[in-house]
Amino acid sequence: MARQIAIIGDHFMLPRMFDEKLREVCGDEIATRLREDDWPDQPMEHGYAVAGMQGLKEYFGGADDVVEFISDAEILVTHLAPMSAAMFKRLPKLKMIAVSRGGPVNIDMQAARERGVLVVNTPGRNSSAVAEFTLGAILAETRRIRVGHEALRKGEWRGDLYRADATGRELNEMTVGVVGYGKIGTKVVKLLRAFGARVLVHDPYIQLSADDVAAGVELVSFERLLGEADVVTMHARVTPETTGMMNAEAFARMKPDALFVNTARGPLCDYDALYAALSQGEIAGAMLETFGVEPVPADWPLLQLPNVTLTPHIAGASVRTVTIAAEQAAEEVRRYLAGEGPLNPC
């Protein structure tokens, strides 16, 4: 008898792509049913705001609808569907969940462990996409692309941007500080090396690869990185240690002509301190892709500053990201059905 798999995707993580990759590796051993939710056209929910969803950070979908769809399935493959403690109790046949994101923040992991449900994720699914976006963000600021674009949209020809005291700088003459040397940080370093930048890395829990060391990449203290970098780009995980690490003291250590880039996570930064640093000229500019609260409020002060570029948390959004996530999830399901151990257990 075919093993029952429920697939809940959305307009980004397409359920049909998960189905295609599952069938490639599992063949006729599985029977699937697909549901496509309305994210990102509709916003996610947060566990603290909905009764019965404690233990979940962000998710999409109502508890009753999700439980009804999963029904008697043994396996759930999803991107954002919630799984609370109460929902686990209503799904006694559910034995495995594959979450196609870097962390299972839509799953109550304590409840999963208590009920013996295997949860796996897809780490690094968007590492190339975010690394490429980060380089684009840096170039948009350092080469004055955003400034020139905004001027032309207003009908203003900024010929003065050719002045030596106003034009941009090339990466091959700059020092870039990379905070965090995980899957994304390492790829950012590789791209920066190709541009000829001097690269400093801060991450107290890693050693640099031999290739990076040979290329002149340096592993340094946080304080030294802040003081020497022309660009500081964030790629650390959010932990109690890293939350708010970019605070008033950190911005005060940076060069007055330095650029701050955050394509990682909003909680890494104290945004009030960043606003003060930008408005008072402690640093020259910032490019922000992630925020402490999303969507950002329409009256958020940082939206009003002329030396900030902001994008709506889209760095990881690429079709290749979806393909990688679907392939990783499918392999985890194949291994589960074959009685093999998971590659990425949560």
The residues near 329 (Cβ < 8 Å, ≥ 6 apart) are 18, 21, 22, 77, 98, 100, 120, 122
Q: Of 149, 294, 320, 340, which residue is the catalytic one?
A: 294
Helix (H/G/I), strand (E/B), else coil: 38: coil
Among 183, 103, 99, 189, CA closest to 138: 189
| Residue in the structure block whose two tokens are 């079709």 | 319
Q: Of 265, 331, 332, 334, which residue is the catalytic one?
A: 265
Tokens of 216: 């002149």
Residues pairing with 177 in the sheet: 200, 232
Q: Helix 145-153 vs helix 127-142: angle between axes, to the nearest 10 degrees?
A: 70
Is 265 annotated in the active site?
Answer: yes
3-state secondary structure 255-324: CCCCEEEECCCHHHECHHHHHHHHHCCCCCEEEECCCCCCCCCCCCHHHHCCCEEECCCCCCCCHHHHHH
Residues pairing with 198 in the sheet: 175
What is the distance between the alpha carbons of residues 98 and 7, in angstroms, rounded to a whole number? 10
Q: Of 101, 144, 235, 313, which residue is the catalytic one?
A: 313
Angle at CA of residue 78, ends 77 and 82, nearest 5°: 125
What is the distance between the alpha carbons of residues 174 and 36, in angstroms, rounded to a whole number? 45
Give the residue numbers marked as catalytic: 265, 294, 313
